[in-house]
Amino acid sequence: MQAEIPGRNGGPDLSARRGLVALLLVTAALRLAVAALAPLSGDEAHYWLWSRDLQWSYFDHPGMVAYLIRAATTLFGLSELALRLPAILGAGLVTLLVYDTARRAFASDRVGLMAALWVNATLLFAAAGVIITPDVPLQLCWSLCLWALVRLVQHGRARDLLLAGLAVGLGFASKYTMVLAGPGLLAAFLLFPALRVWWRRPALIGAVALALAAASPVVLWNLAHDNASFRKQSAHAFEAGGVDPLASLAGFLGGEAGVVTPLIFVFCLWGGGWALWRGWRARRADWFLLGALSLPVLLFFAQHSLGGKVQLHWPGMAYLPAIIAAVGFWSLKPRAGWGAGLFRLAPGLGGGLVALAYLHLATGLLPLPARVDPLGRLQGWKPLFAAVEAQHRAHPDAFLFVEKHDMAGLLSFHLPDHPVVFLGKVALHNAPWAYGDDMIPSLAGRDAIFVFRDGSGSLEYSARFFESTGPLAAVERVRRGRAPERFVLTLARGYRGGLLGED
C-alpha cells in the first residue's frame, strides 16, 4: 500500500488540482497557436508521407506516429495544426501522468503539480508538445509504464502490471529506444520484494505477452524487409569513431543542458541518482523506478556520445521520471540556502525560455544567431515550392524526384493535389516497398523533374538513369542570417529504371 510520509495532507489538495487544470489549459492554448503558425519541418512532412501509405514500420522508425497523423488528418483535414494535434494531446496526457505519478510516489498533490510544471518548463518537452515526431507516443508510453508500475508497487493489482506491459509494447511500436527501459525494469523486479513476487504469478506472463503482441507488427515488418529498420538503428546504437570523445561528450552535456534548461538539467541528474540510492536504502521500489527509468538512460547516451553524435531529443523520455524524483526529493523536508533558491528559480527560468521559444516559432521575431535558430531549417521554402509547381504544370506527365526525404515530404505537402515525390538515390529510404506495388513500374520511359541542391553531385549520379537531362530553373532559398541556398530544377527525359531501388 502507499506509504504515508510525515507532514503530508492525507486528503486531496484542491488548489493544486486547480493549478493543474490551469496549467493544462494555458499550455494547450499556447501549443494550439504555435502549431497553427509555425512552418512545417521536413521531418514532420516525412512522417505525414508515411501516413498516406500506412505500414507497421518504416526504415527510420516504427509506424505509430504515422497512425496518429492519419487519424488526426482524417478527422480534422490536412493542415499544419491538424497534423500536430496528436503532439498537443500527447503533451497534455503526459502532464497528467507525471502529475499523478509524482502525487502517488510522494503522497502530495503539490509535488504532482510542481513536477508537471517542471516538465512543461523544459524546451525539449515544449518542442514535443507542438512538433509531431515518434517521441510523442514514446514519451506517452514511457510515462504510462512508470505510472502503472508505481500503482503496482503501492496497490499490488495485476491490472497495473498488464497495463505496464502494454505500454512497453506500444512504446516499442513508437520508437526503438523504448528498449532502454528494459534494464531498469529488470533490476526493479529482481531487487524489490513488492515486484519480485510477480515472477511467480501469471500476470507477469500476461504482461510480457501483451508487450510482445503490441511490438510484434514491427518485428514482422522487419522480418519481411530484411531487417532494414533494425539494422539501421543498430548501426546508430553501436557506431563509433570519427569524433573527439571528450569534445563530443561536452557537446552532448551542453546540448542537453540547453534543451532541458540548465537548472532543471542539473536537478534531473541529481534526482535520478538520488532516486536509485534512496529508493534502494529505504526499500521504496516506486522511488527506485524513478531513477531506474532515468539515470541509466542518460548514462547510456553519454557513453554513446564518446563515439558518435547523439541527437538532443534522443534521451528526452528519461527526464520525465528524473524531474519527478528531483521535485520529490526537495519536497521531503524544508530546505534553505542557495540550493533552495536555485530550485525555486529553475521552473521560472525554464518557463521563460519556453515562452520565448514559442514566440519565436510562431512569429520569427527574435534576432537569434543563425546557428541556434530553429527556424533556419523551416523558412524560405515558398519560392522553391512555387517554382516546382510552375514546372509541374508545364510538364504534367513528369514525375517528381528529389535527393532527400525532407524535401520529398515538404514538396508533396505544399504542392496542389499532394503528388508523390520520389527519392532519387538508391537507398533503403526509397526501396520499392516504400511506394505502392505498381507505382514504380509505371514510371518507365517517363520524364521527371529533379529538384536538388546545387553542388551536391546528385545530378551527375542520377543522369545515367535517363536518356538526357536539361536545366529548367534555379531558385535561391533565402534565410535570415544565412547564406542563400541554391536549388536547381532539371528535366530528366526518358527514365530507364534503376534509380528508385527497383531491380
**Domain assignment present for 406:** yes
In 42-177, alpha helices (H) = 42-52, 64-76, 80-106, 109-120, 123-128, 135-155, 158-172
Quick one: CA torsion of 178, 181, 186, 191, rounded to 10 degrees?
-160
**Of 303, 331, 361, at which residue does a domain stop?**
361
**Domain assignment present for 432:** yes
Say what percent of the chain tops pLDDT 90.
69
pLDDT band, residue 455 (cuts 50/70/90): confident
Residue 249, pLDDT above cutoff 50: yes
Average pLDDT, integer, range 342-368: 92
Give me the pLDDT at residue 3, please: 43
Name the more confident of 137 and 432: 137
Residue 146, pLDDT above cutoff 50: yes
Average pLDDT, integer, range 446-460: 89
Name the more confident of 139 and 430: 139
The helix or strand, by DSSP H or E, that contains position 385, with its residue range, turns out to be helix 382-394
Q: Name residue 486's beta-bridge partners.
A: 476
pLDDT band, residue 350 (cuts 50/70/90): very high
Residue 372, pLDDT above cutoff 90: no
Query: Which distant-in-sequence residues (6+ apart) come within 8 Å of 279 by Cβ?
Result: 285, 286, 287, 288, 289, 290, 291
Q: Looking at the structure, do residues 325 and 430 belong to the same domain, yes or no? A: no
Q: Looking at the structure, do residues 85 and 170 belong to the same domain, yes or no? A: yes
Average pLDDT, integer, range 147-156: 97
The least confident of 115-124, 390-399, 439-448 is 439-448
Average pLDDT, integer, range 138-148: 98
Residue 430, pLDDT above cutoff 60: no
* DSSP conformational letter for 448: E
Residue 237, pLDDT above cutoff 70: no
For residues 48 and 94, the answer to whether their CB atoms sit within 8 Å is no
**Domain assignment present for 257:** yes
Average pLDDT, integer, range 388-405: 92
Residue reference for cell 497523423: 69
The least confident of 128-132, 134-138, 248-252 is 248-252
Q: Looking at the structure, do residues 318 and 412 belong to the same domain, yes or no? A: no
pLDDT band, residue 110 (cuts 50/70/90): very high
Residue 92, pLDDT above cutoff 90: yes
Residue 425, pLDDT above cutoff 60: no
Residue 387, pLDDT above cutoff 50: yes
The least confident of 408-417, 419-428, 446-455 is 419-428
The 10s digit of each residue's pLDDT in 304-331 is 898 888 899 999 999 999 999 999 998 8
Average pLDDT, integer, range 169-195: 97
Q: Looking at the structure, do residues 317 and 385 belong to the same domain, yes or no? A: no
pLDDT band, residue 489 (cuts 50/70/90): very high
Q: Looking at the structure, do residues 465 and 438 belong to the same domain, yes or no? A: yes
Residue 8, pLDDT above cutoff 70: no
Q: Looking at the structure, do residues 313 and 402 belong to the same domain, yes or no? A: no
C-alpha separations of 93 from 28, 88, 474 in Å? 11, 9, 46
Distance, in Å, from the CA atom of 296 to the CA atom of 183, rounded to the nearest integer, reads 8
**Domain assignment present for 239:** yes
Q: Looking at the structure, do residues 335 and 469 belong to the same domain, yes or no? A: no
**Domains in the chain, number:** 2
Distance, in Å, from the CA atom of 286 to the CA atom of 195, rounded to the nearest integer, reads 10
Q: Looking at the structure, do residues 350 and 418 belong to the same domain, yes or no? A: no
Average pLDDT, integer, range 250-254: 93
C-alpha separations of 132 from 72, 329, 379 in Å? 11, 32, 18
**Which grid cell sits at 77?**
483535414
**Of 304, 332, 361, at which residue does a domain stop?**
361
**Domain assignment present for 196:** yes
Q: Looking at the structure, do residues 223 and 251 belong to the same domain, yes or no? A: yes
Q: Looking at the structure, do residues 288 and 388 belong to the same domain, yes or no? A: no
Q: Read off the pTM.
A: 0.92
Distance, in Å, from the CA atom of 415 to the CA atom of 419, rounded to the nearest integer, reads 7
Average pLDDT, integer, range 208-221: 96
Give me the pLDDT at residue 2, please: 42
For residues 291 and 273, the answer to whether their CB atoms sit within 8 Å is yes
Q: What φ, ψ does residue 277 adopt, rounded to 5°?
A: -70, -50
**Of 330, 361, 392, at which residue does a domain stop?**
361
Give me the pLDDT at residue 502, please: 62
Residue 383, pLDDT above cutoff 90: yes
Q: Looking at the structure, do residues 344 and 389 belong to the same domain, yes or no? A: no
Average pLDDT, integer, range 260-289: 96
Quick one: CA torsion of 170, 174, 180, 183, rounded to 10 degrees?
10
**Domain assignment present for 9:** no
For residues 500 and 430, the answer to whether their CB atoms sit within 8 Å is yes
Q: Mean pLDDT in the chain?
A: 90
**Domain assignment present for 3:** no
Q: Looking at the structure, do residues 102 and 186 belong to the same domain, yes or no? A: yes
**Domain assignment present for 372:** no
The least confident of 278-282, 288-292, 476-480 is 476-480
The percent helix, strand, coil of the chain (3-state, each to 5) is: 65, 10, 25
The CA-based angle 376-378-383, given to 5 degrees, is 105
Structural domain boundaries, residue 322: 14-361
Average pLDDT, integer, range 72-100: 97
